[in-house]
Amino acid sequence: MPAVGGPSRPYNRRMSIRWSAFLLPLALFAAAAGAREYALSPGSDVIGEVEVIRAAYEDTFFKLGRRYDVGYDELRHANPGVDPLLPGEGTEIVIPTQYVLPDAPRRGIVLNIPEYRLYYFPEDGGRVITHPIGIGREGWTTPYGRTTVAGKTVKPTWYPPESIREEHAANGDPLPAAVPPGPDNPLGDYALRLGFPSYLIHGTNKPYGVGMRVSHGCIRMYPEDIEALFALVEPGTPVTIINQPYKVGWGEGGLYLEAHRPLAEESEAWTATELTVRFVAATGTRRAEVRWDQADTVLATGNGIPEFVSVEGTITVADLVDEPAAVE
């Protein structure tokens, strides 16, 4: 049975929420809602706002993800209890488009793997562009660390590694030594080669996999997203690949916590201790009192939506505007 009306959700009053119309044509939605570029505000680590829409009869999480530039799992975690394949006409859908910026250098490309999200900080500064990504399956995780964009290719040919060819052959789906450009090429029309050998940020011929664990370690993007990013970056652009399921940052009135589900093979390593480390890194010499009961709730929910976790009145973003942004 499709969900009708959707579950009610208690939103934090500090969260920025915007209701979007749901009768606009799909093409207008793609143009209006697809781009995710935000100005960076002094003293603030929180960008964007949560949107709430009502689904049309034909909507699925795959269609909504493409329309609003969010990933499948992002929508699923933000809307527990809603059928992702048939939400039902009129069902309230949360579009999780508010983000705490990751604790990483704000230059070049930052890939936060458990968040299934890419952040791009242009050289001209003052803004950030963010897109959802598909990531490696269990056993094929993208390596963490710092590298660069080593090259750019339009209409790439895919040369599947021997390990992947063996896997496909074992499943009765043999691959050729080279897959030319075209609709059968899993790299799509654009690819950014990383300094880590054999790893790419690329498009896809299966966009429904964006926001899921579907690849052999490469990063997949919606075709329109990789085309836009491809035009902006050049070889030598720094790339930082991180593992931060919990993000803590400063927003309106104090600290915000955004929690995602750690990767399954790493879930036991992420504990409340790691959360404490994140709070310490975010606060430094800044005064803030944390509602730990609220933080525990956010951690347990893991819905990827930033929540205000400071005690009221401890500090405001206005107190922080003279402090430098967290750049490296």
Domain assignment present for residue 4? The answer is no
Domain assignment present for residue 64? The answer is yes
* 82 and 160 part of one domain: no
* 124 and 209 part of one domain: yes
* 69 and 84 part of one domain: yes
* 269 and 235 part of one domain: no
Boundary of a domain, candidates 73, 100, 127: 100
CB neighbours of 275 closer than 8 A, spacing ≥ 6?
246, 248, 257, 295, 299
* 205 and 265 part of one domain: no
Domain count of the chain? Answer: 3
For the domain that residue 69 is a member of, what is the CATH number?
3.10.350.10
Residues with catalytic annotation?
A: 202, 218
Domain assignment present for residue 275? The answer is yes
- Give CA–CA dist 213/308, Å, rounded: 29
Using alpha carbons, list the distances in angstroms from residue 247 to 99, 114, 155.
9, 11, 36
Domain assignment present for residue 326? The answer is no
Which domain covers residue 290, as residue numbers?
246-320
Q: How many of the other CB atoms lie within 10 Å of CB of 234?
A: 10
Q: How many of the other CB atoms lie within 10 Å of CB of 113?
A: 24
Boundary of a domain, candidates 41, 76, 100: 100
* 122 and 211 part of one domain: yes
* 55 within 8 A of 87, measured Cβ to Cβ: yes
- Give CA–CA dist 297/305, Å, rounded: 12
Per-residue pLDDT of the chain (328 residues; tens, 9 = 90+): 333 223 333 344 454 566 544 333 333 333 334 568 999 998 899 999 999 999 999 999 999 999 999 999 999 999 999 999 999 999 999 999 999 999 999 999 999 999 999 999 999 889 999 999 999 876 677 889 999 999 999 999 987 777 777 766 777 777 766 778 888 898 999 999 999 988 999 999 999 999 988 877 799 999 999 999 999 999 999 999 999 999 999 998 889 999 999 887 776 667 667 777 777 777 766 677 888 889 889 988 999 999 999 886 554 444 444 444 443 4
